[in-house]
Structure 1
Amino acid sequence: MIAETVRPVRQRGLLGFIERVGNYLPDPTIIFIYLIVALMLLSALGAALGWTASLPFSGTNAPANAEIENGMLTYRASSLFSAENIARLFTEMPRTYANFAPLGIVLTIMMGVAVAERSGLFFALIRGSLRNTPRRYMAPIIAVVGMVSHHAADAAYVVLIPMAAVLFASVGRHPLAGIAAALAAVSGGYAGNIMPGQLDVLLFSFTQEAARIVEPGWTMNPLGNWYFILGIVIVFTPIIWFLTDKVVEPRLGTWDEEIDDQLRADLEKGALGDDERRGLRHAGIAALLVVAGFAALCLWPGYTPFIDQNAEGPIRLQPLYASIIAALFILFLLTGTVFGRAVGIIKGSADVIEMMREGVKTIAPYLVFVFFAAHFVAMFNWSGIGPIIAISGAEKLQGMNLPAPLLLVCVLLMSSVLDLFIGSATAKWSVLSSVVVPMLMLLGISPEMTTAAYRMGDSYTNIMTPLMSYFPLVLVFCQRWDKSIGVGSLLALMLPYALCFMAAGIAMTVGWVAFDLPLGPGAQVFYDIPGHTAP
């Protein structure tokens, strides 16, 4: 049973080291409190030693924390203990929190997602996608569904992974192979998807704050990684298919046990009822109407609110990119509502409002975390330490003459190592982005490409660490079919996927830069900062 408590086996060697170190790490919120204290001390040291950094600058308007001197844009370290910064910290505390870009974005998206999730739409989509799957094509279909199901947040772990095991067992295939394929897609392929969603918006909101350290006018494009994340699906799906069918399942041996009553009951749960099928049809129509409505606002003759007629090139579409957040909110809200009405879960507007409230309640820990993250990012900017580190780091990297692909592989590997100890993608990126995004911007690499490299590194190591938050739950799913499975067994089962994903991810990142492929609509690998010259 899922509710059963699992006491993980204590590991030795590298896995044991990772497990022990990870257990000593505090909550991400506490980590940010420590970072704020360390930043304040560092800023005082920098101000006392007179730390500065300069860039050639041909613009006219300097950022608030810099000065223009003889054609150079100069940043100076400012002590966060100064009277001005202490006053700013306390007088602007509510504004610093409320104006933090990720906060409003996440709240907006989650209110829509909450309706789609609590109405049962996401669960029905996952079950409907896998129902009647041909035996031969189970692995690739589970791979695609697993990566698409990231829009359903945690539903993929709770629904898709155990259901994959049931489907494999029902056709005489080993259920642990089904769990392995699903976990590889859901967790190891976390960066992949067919369409951008709330994860893209959340990560890019941190990217935007970091990019504005050196270019205050930089605005995020939620579609900035669309082609890249789609490429991950295309690359990872055949890897999951091959490894599941040719490597993992043969090692597990044949599965010839009888299907018991519990398994038959689980299979019946996977079947969609008439109401759910009708609800999915209604949700599909609603989704098409949302897409058509936004397309009309771009193409209607004489009335194009989402097109900037005074701009040229990709910038003309900036209003459309900015509207993606609202579009996702409306899409999830409307499709979830019509599905809920069809299945009888939603009987009136009060039910929708209650679902939205419950959605906000579930992210209460995030609201606490963001309070400290917002102040860390703001204080990082006030101190001038961010651009000084970025400019100094960029100068050193330029002196080493490292090619752009190698720089991004370094970001990818840094992300993957940190992911072994800290599971939260947003917690890591909220810290890393403040340094690596502006540093690589100064070397001509776009914020979108840096974000893509980070996402790749943060993805495949999810299945290499027992510290992943859903690892104990997956272990329970495995032990239903084989009581002898322990932490080490599950890690060994997933290791081929992780190693192949790592090799493919590095190769894909290098290839994307080498061929200068577009990352998404209006998003390129390389980037020039207006008014700046590379150090």
Structure 2
Amino acid sequence: MPHSHVLEPTPARPASLTNRLLDGIERVGNALPDPVTLFVLLCLVVVLGSHWAASTGMSVIKPGTDDVITPVSLLSAATLQQWLVDAPKHFATFPPLATVLVALIGVGVAERSGLLGTVLARIVMCAPRRLMTPIVVLVGIMSNLASDVGYVVVIPLAAMIFASAGRHPLAGLAAAFAGTSAGFSANLLVSTLDPLLGGLTEAAAHLIDPAWQVSALANYYFMAASAIALTAVAWYVTDRIIEPRLPQWQGNAGAADTPRADAASRAAEQRGLRAAGLVALLTTGLLLALWLPEGGILRDPVKGTLLPSPFINGIVVVIMVVFLLPGIAYGLAAGSMRNDRDVARAMGDSLSEMGYYLVMVFFAAQFIALFGQSKLGVLLAVNGAEAISASGLSGMPLLLTFVLFTAAVNLVIGSASAKWALLAPIFVPMLMLLGFTPEATQLAYRIGDSVSNIISPMMVYFPIVLVMAKRYLPEYGLGSLITLMLPYSLAFTLAWSLLMTVWIGLDIPIGPGIAIHLPTTLH
């Protein structure tokens, strides 16, 4: 259901340098074509760029190997034939597509039954308004424990919570997006990213020290502290920079989401909440009983571990079930749903709003697939890394340059593990020879890999966040979203780099027993 809203005239903003700069960026960004058209044009740029790179004989040596990487011309007959065959596959296997649509089946039922609206209204009544922003940001940061749950659940719910509290929903969306994506590596707990990057770091460290081992807790102390620091930074940016720039919001999330005020309706809502709470408790208890105990069928079938496991790998279906069953229970108990046809209609209605997103995803998927096939991103990353290696920088200036370089590479190569597989064999040995442990280099990489996520259309969830924003402001464009998130990206880069500089300057362990500097005998 489209969100009803009333936009009051934007109050006059101080003509500060920051506001003038952001307004200029927004005007330029919104002057760009529609995102669908933009992705089509980017496909053409990649095709022509790949042909030029291949015809000039560009090549690089893959770090840590003797393999030669050369660009692939996408203008050849063979690649055109292959694209015609694979284009539907690129669309169908686009990473966020299934995640968003499957989760939306459950979330849509919970929303249209009235459950989400009622719960959000209770949260707004109970939660201190001044703490709403930091709670949303921290929940976004912590959501990375459960795969992509932050993108498909936390971000849209944050927008709804802010709208219910009379605050601009895009401020909530921005705060949650910043925590979920720009704060991707920070967490109070160990996530699946830690062992994934640790394995690549250890392999790169073996080029210097074959006995070196990297723990999954390698960056835990620093990343836990980062979660708190970034929450504070995002709190300030949201309340002092972002929200004052947005038009005044007077509206709600739609009549279906707004709890009704008469006594009979309140009684129905109370029945629905009791039924939904009971079903949610039983569903959650059953899932945890299948996951937590030794021998649980949702543990890893080989290692018996909790993380990774089918439970975590299948978190999207878990999300769907956790929203779907309580949503049905609420609807039946409150009277907003009467039978299975109402449930099926709610599922269909929630997916019917995704038409524009599906069109955008088709062309975005083609662009990302063609860009990867061309090898242009790999060439740019390796050439840039080699330039930094030859620059003569050392110590903290080199580490900070590496953060900025990683943030730039992140604009063209989205996958954290794919980038680190390319960059680790170059930077881990280089910085080991300059006295930094592999774990310290991994830490710097994780900062750069996170902070530019929210301003990169190459980030696979960027299109869905844009669609979420359009639910509240239909005219919202690519430039508007980038401008909305740019202050977070800059603030996170500055604050996180400063925290790293102070941490390293004080020589504080970055993980249990993990030092920053190598013993002098190893470098």
The 1:107–1:438 alpha-carbon spacing in structure 2 relative to 1, beyond 3 Å, is farther
2:102 maps to 1:102: no
The equivalent residue for 1:424 is none
The 1:123–1:153 alpha-carbon spacing in structure 2 relative to 1, beyond 3 Å, is farther
Larger mean Cα displacement after TM superposition, 300-309 or 80-89? 300-309
Q: Aligned partners of 2:115, 2:472: CA distance in 1, in Å? A: 23
One-letter identity of the residue aligned with 2:272: G
Q: Aligned partners of 1:370, 1:244: CA distance in 2, in Å? A: 28
Please show how residues 99-498 of structure 1 align to structure 2 within 5 Å. 99-132=93-126, 137-141=128-132, 143-144=134-135, 148=139, 151=153, 153-154=155-156, 156-157=158-159, 160-161=162-163, 163-164=165-166, 186-192=173-179, 234-235=228-229, 273-299=266-292, 302=295, 304-309=297-302, 311=303, 317-400=308-391, 403-404=398-399, 406-409=401-404, 439-440=422-423, 443=427, 456-457=451-452
One-letter identity of the residue aligned with 1:188: A
The 1:17–1:508 alpha-carbon spacing in structure 2 relative to 1, beyond 3 Å, is same
Larger mean Cα displacement after TM superposition, 299-308 or 2-11? 2-11
The 1:454–1:390 alpha-carbon spacing in structure 2 relative to 1, beyond 3 Å, is closer
Q: Aligned partners of 2:415, 2:374: CA distance in 1, in Å? A: 17
User: What secondary structure is seen at the aligned counterpart in 2 of 1:81?
Assistant: coil
1:158 Cα deviation after fit: 5.2
Q: Aligned partners of 1:147, 1:473: CA distance in 2, in Å? A: 23
1:353 Cα deviation after fit: 1.4
1:317 Cα deviation after fit: 2.3
The 1:391–1:410 alpha-carbon spacing in structure 2 relative to 1, beyond 3 Å, is closer
TM-score of the superposition, structure 2-length normalised? 0.61
- Give % identity: 27
The 1:93–1:270 alpha-carbon spacing in structure 2 relative to 1, beyond 3 Å, is farther
One-letter identity of the residue aligned with 1:304: I
Contact 1:108 1:329 in 2 (8 A): yes
Contact 2:283 2:322 in 1 (8 A): yes
The equivalent residue for 2:5 is 2
1:328 Cα deviation after fit: 1.3
Please show how residues 1-150 of structure 1 align to structure 2 within 5 Å. 2-3=5-6, 6=9, 13-55=20-62, 72-132=66-126, 137-141=128-132, 143-144=134-135, 148=139
Q: Aligned partners of 1:188, 1:139: CA distance in 2, in Å? A: 14
Aligned residues: 415
Larger mean Cα displacement after TM superposition, 373-382 or 428-437? 428-437
One-letter identity of the residue aligned with 2:387: K
Q: Deviations over 1:236-267 (max 9, x none)?
A: 6667889999x99xx9xxxxxxxxxxxxxx99
Q: Aligned partners of 1:295, 1:139: CA distance in 2, in Å? A: 33
Q: Aligned partners of 2:367, 2:455: CA distance in 1, in Å? A: 28
Q: Aligned partners of 2:498, 2:262: CA distance in 1, in Å? A: 38
One-letter identity of the residue aligned with 2:56: L
Q: Which runs of 5+ in 1 are unaligned?
A: 58-70, 166-178, 216-224, 252-265, 416-427, 462-466, 475-490, 519-523, 527-535
Q: Aligned partners of 1:40, 1:129: CA distance in 2, in Å? A: 50
Q: Aligned partners of 1:229, 1:84: CA distance in 2, in Å? A: 46
One-letter identity of the residue aligned with 2:72: S
1:437 Cα deviation after fit: 6.1
One-letter identity of the residue aligned with 2:313: A
Q: Aligned partners of 2:224, 2:108: CA distance in 1, in Å? A: 25
Contact 1:110 1:359 in 2 (8 A): yes
Contact 2:59 2:68 in 1 (8 A): yes
The 1:328–1:82 alpha-carbon spacing in structure 2 relative to 1, beyond 3 Å, is same
Contact 2:221 2:510 in 1 (8 A): no
Contact 2:110 2:324 in 1 (8 A): yes
User: What secondary structure is seen at the aligned counterpart in 1 of 2:67?
Assistant: strand
Please show how residues 524-535 of structure 1 align to structure 2 within 5 Å. none
User: What secondary structure is seen at the aligned counterpart in 1 of 2:42?
Assistant: helix
The 1:96–1:497 alpha-carbon spacing in structure 2 relative to 1, beyond 3 Å, is closer
Contact 1:389 1:435 in 2 (8 A): no
User: What secondary structure is seen at the aligned counterpart in 1 of 2:275?
Assistant: helix
